Structure 1
């Protein structure tokens, strides 16, 4: 069963719940791909989650250029979130790329942004989170990402479609 079908089934099963303790949906795809989504709410058309993780075994220890290519492909293809995402920081020694909303969302008293972390060391990982920083307050707080089922399935399909080949 493909990842989109697995996701639809699990979301449909959880619809109308506010899962206690932020349970994760765990999906397994071909070639050892795994997706984990830490849900905070699910209704009949959409869900909220704190974090989405994708583990890609084929990217473990991959050359840094492949990781950069994945970041570039993601920024071109994932254009339907609240803000555009772009690669921001590169760490070839750590095998990591940090992507963020560019520009971040601006409210009256806050700034919100997506943050994506791609890693080839220790092992082929993608992590998506959203943060909010309030003006005049130090630090940032994680906030839920809210997507329709359709947008979430599209995001997962786009993540997989842009994975560079070794």
Structure 2
């Protein structure tokens, strides 16, 4: 069973139930913070992915940068393309964001992806309000097909370490 198949099965077992839905396949785990779950797709607060392998050391900043580059190259089917915007060698993090945020009225919304030296990834959708100059978390939707493809791409890009 793949991680994409495992998360699909977990979502099928919890139709229309909010909360955390998670699945694991070997060292790979995926946790969805679900607001709503339908046969067509999910509405998420955020998504967490991790490669949990106690035999592997922490990721180096070069490995994280390469993972970020692979994600930006492979995950091209979200609303906006992703680009690496920050590499924090001291903090052991790499950040990707939407290349061009989507404007809607006063808001500009974008994806933010954070990779950590512990082998974790978090995807959030944020909205920046031009009037208040503040940003806030925004729920985002993924079809089941896109979610399963994303799960496969997360696994594939992480294991080219």
Flag whether TM exceeds 0.5 (same fold): yes
SS class of match (1:140): strand
Which of these residues, 89, 94, 100, is aligned with residue 91 of structure 2? 94
Question: 8 Å contact 1:51–1:127 — kept in the other structure?
Answer: yes
Q: Deviation per CA, 1:8-58: give whole Å up to 9, x if none.
A: 11222223x252xxx11111111x221111000111211111111111135
Q: Which has the higher strand share?
A: 2
| Structure 2 residue 52 is matched with structure 1 residue 57 | yes
Distance in structure 2 (CA, Å) of the matches to 1:55 and 1:44 = 25
| Structure 2 residue 79 is matched with structure 1 residue 67 | no
Distance in structure 2 (CA, Å) of the matches to 1:29 and 1:2 = 6
Question: 8 Å contact 1:60–1:124 — kept in the other structure?
Answer: no
**Offset of 1:108 from its aligned partner?**
2.4
Distance in structure 2 (CA, Å) of the matches to 1:114 and 1:103 = 10
Instruction: Report runs of 4+ in structure 1 exceeding 6 Å deviation.
Output: none
| Structure 2 residue 57 is matched with structure 1 residue 29 | no
> Which residues of structure 2 form unaligned runs of 5+?
none
Residue of structure 2 equivalent to 1:127: 122
Q: Using structure 1 for the length normalisation, give the TM-score.
A: 0.89
Aligned residues: 159
Q: Using structure 2 for the length normalisation, give the TM-score.
A: 0.92
SS class of match (1:79): coil
Distance in structure 2 (CA, Å) of the matches to 1:81 and 1:55 = 20
Residue of structure 2 equivalent to 1:9: 9
Distance in structure 1 (CA, Å) of the matches to 2:8 and 2:111 = 24
Question: 8 Å contact 1:116–1:126 — kept in the other structure?
Answer: yes
Distance in structure 1 (CA, Å) of the matches to 2:160 and 2:105 = 43
Residue of structure 2 equivalent to 1:42: 37
Question: 8 Å contact 1:69–1:164 — kept in the other structure?
Answer: no
Moved more, 36-45 or 129-138: 129-138
CA RMSD in angstroms comes to 1.5
Moved more, 4-13 or 53-62: 53-62
